[in-house]
Amino acid sequence: MKLLIGNKCYSSWSLRAWLLLRARGIAFEEQLVLLDAPGFKDAVFAAAPGSGGTVPTLVDGEIAAWETLAIAEYLHDRFPDAGIWPSDMAARAHARAISSEMHAGFSSLRNACPMNLGKRYAARDRGPGVARDVERITSLWRQARERFGGAGPFLYGAFSAADAMFAPVVTRLDTYAIAVDATSQAYIDAVLALPAYRDWLDGALAEPWIVAHDEVDEPAIADLRKL
């Protein structure tokens, strides 16, 4: 099984699929395809003919799955005992719903605060759209934790596809010093301490590549890259 990913410092969608595989203990090989490099789509198509030409793309023999939610559902079918989604039906329905909302929404936060694991920025007002997105996201986290999270530190207790879907949001809130409620902060801390995430972060900070359009136009208070 092979997972095609983009640069670890910037590729939020790649982080989702990679983290899910690693956190749930599913063996795979990663193939890095540099974002914005000439021949990017050709490299993806060479590994996965007929795919969307995007990362992440999962290749399992003759089967290819692209788009992170599709990858999660394939893994759920392929490894039914791996805990990709919560086992409880109500929790699973809630997890799929909020994951779909994450997949399709929160454009203000995405646009104003691109994922960049190599920098830290000072807290400031990032506009009403970002504030609305953060309020909605943290309300979803509180719902999940209060209703289904009693058995562990993640949204539904154990780490699942829903946590993978929100992992890049966790990094954004940390990178841009966006304040949240205590329940949400405890959840953020749990994701950032996850060994699988720490492995991804180590790889991200060792990368030599800069993707200019994912570098916001403001001074960083810390540069974490090992350049």
CATH classification of the domain holding 51: 3.40.30.10
Same structural domain, 35 and 97: no
Question: What gap in Å lies between CA 123 and CA 158, rounded to an integer?
Answer: 31
Same structural domain, 93 and 195: yes
Q: Is residue 180 situated within a structural domain?
A: yes
Same structural domain, 100 and 160: yes
Number of domains forming the structure of the chain: 2
Which pLDDT value is given to residue 151?
Answer: 85
Same structural domain, 97 and 186: yes
Same structural domain, 102 and 193: yes
Same structural domain, 106 and 178: yes
Same structural domain, 12 and 114: no
Q: Is residue 189 situated within a structural domain?
A: yes
Q: Which of 78, 105, 121 is the last residue before a domain boundary?
A: 78
Q: Are 156 and 149 in contact (CB under 8 A)?
A: yes
Q: Is residue 157 situated within a structural domain?
A: yes
Note down pLDDT in tens along the chain; length 227 residues: 999 999 999 999 999 999 999 999 999 999 999 998 999 999 999 999 999 999 999 999 999 999 999 999 999 999 999 999 999 999 999 999 999 999 999 999 999 999 999 999 999 999 999 999 999 999 999 999 999 998 899 999 999 999 999 999 999 999 999 999 999 999 999 999 999 999 999 999 999 999 998 999 999 999 999 65
Is this structure's pTM higher than 0.95?
Answer: yes
Q: Which of 29, 56, 78 is the last residue before a domain boundary?
A: 78
Q: Is residue 32 situated within a structural domain?
A: yes
Which pLDDT value is given to residue 213?
Answer: 86
Question: What CATH code is carried by the domain that includes residue 95?
Answer: 1.20.1050.10
Q: Is residue 20 situated within a structural domain?
A: yes
What range defines the domain where residue 50 resides?
2-78
